[in-house]
Amino acid sequence: MKISIKNISGTNQGELETKFEVVENGKGTQAVHDAVTAYRAAQRSGTACTKTVGDVQGSNKKPWKQKGTGRARAGSLRSPLWAGGGVVFGPKPRDFSKKISKSTKQLALRKALSERLKLGDVIVVDDLKLASHKTKDFVKVMSALELKGTTLVISNSEENKNLTLAARNIENVALTTGESLNTYDVLRPDKLVFTKSAFEQVEARLNKE
C-alpha cells in the first residue's frame, strides 16, 4: 500500500510504500478487541476501598442486654445494620489489568493501522520541526493539512520540543511517539498524523518476529 507524503504546507512530497503486511478481511478483529479491553482495564486505578466490620473503629461491647428491653437484639455497634458500621461485600483494592501476548498486541496494532490506512485517515508528513513553540504555528500546520476533529500526532521522541509545546494547548490534539503508539491510540482519533521517521519506527515494530 502506498501513502502520499506531505510537508507542513500541505504540498505532496512523493509516496511512501508500507513495509509491513496489511491485514485483510476479518483477521485480527478479536486481537483488536482483546488489546483495547486490556488497555482500558489497565487504566483503572482499582483503589476503591470500604471498611468491613473488622476495620470499623468501635468497641465490642454489647449495646444493651439481650432480653427485656423490647428492642431488637444487638451485638455490636460495628454491625453493617447500623449507621457507621461496616460494609458487607464492599470493594477492596484490586488489580484490573489483563495479560495478552506480544503476538496478539502486534496483530492488533497492525490490524488497526491497516484499517485506518484503508479509510484514508493516516497522514504522513516528511518533517514536523517548527521554528518556534508558539501555538499559532501549529494551528497553521493543521489548517494546511486540513485537520478537523480529534487528531493524534505521532512523532519521533528525538524530534524538537517546539512541537510538544506548540500542540499541547490545542483542544482535541494529542501527541505520542512511534515507540509508545498502541491499538487504542490508533482507533480513538479522527485523524492520525505521522512524521516520516515515526511511521518508519512503527513499521519496524510491526516487522519484528
| pLDDT tens, position by position, 140-158 | 989 999 888 999 999 887 6
In the chain, residues under CATH classification 3.40.1370.10 are 2-43+99-206
The reported pTM is 0.83
Strand-pair partners of 40 = none
Q: What is the pLDDT of residues 168-185, one digit of tens each?
A: 889 899 999 989 999 999
Cα Rg, the chain, nearest whole Å: 27
How high is the mean pLDDT of the chain? 91
Per-residue confidence (pLDDT) for residue 103, from 0 to 100: 93
Of 111, 106, 114, the closest CA to residue 209 belongs to: 106
| Other Cβ atoms closer than 10 A to 106 | 20
Per-residue confidence (pLDDT) for residue 88, from 0 to 100: 95
Per-residue confidence (pLDDT) for residue 158, from 0 to 100: 65
* CATH code that applies to domain 2-43+99-206: 3.40.1370.10
All 3 cell numbers of residue 128?
514536523
Query: Starting at the edge strand that comes first in sequence, how are the strands of the sheet with 122-125 ordered?
Result: 12-17, 2-6, 122-125, 191-195, 151-155, 173-177
Contact 82, 73 (CB under 8 A): no
Q: What is the pLDDT of residues 66-104, one digit of tens each?
A: 999 999 999 999 999 999 999 999 999 999 999 999 999
CA 60 – CA 121 distance, rounded (Å): 65
CA 76 – CA 73 distance, rounded (Å): 10
Per-residue confidence (pLDDT) for residue 111, from 0 to 100: 95
CA 23 – CA 38 distance, rounded (Å): 21
CA 163 – CA 156 distance, rounded (Å): 11
Q: How confident is the model at residue 162 (pLDDT cuts 50, 70, 90)?
A: confident
Q: How confident is the model at residue 159 (pLDDT cuts 50, 70, 90)?
A: low
Q: Work out the percent of the chain whose per-residue pLDDT is above 90.
A: 63
CA 151 – CA 139 distance, rounded (Å): 12
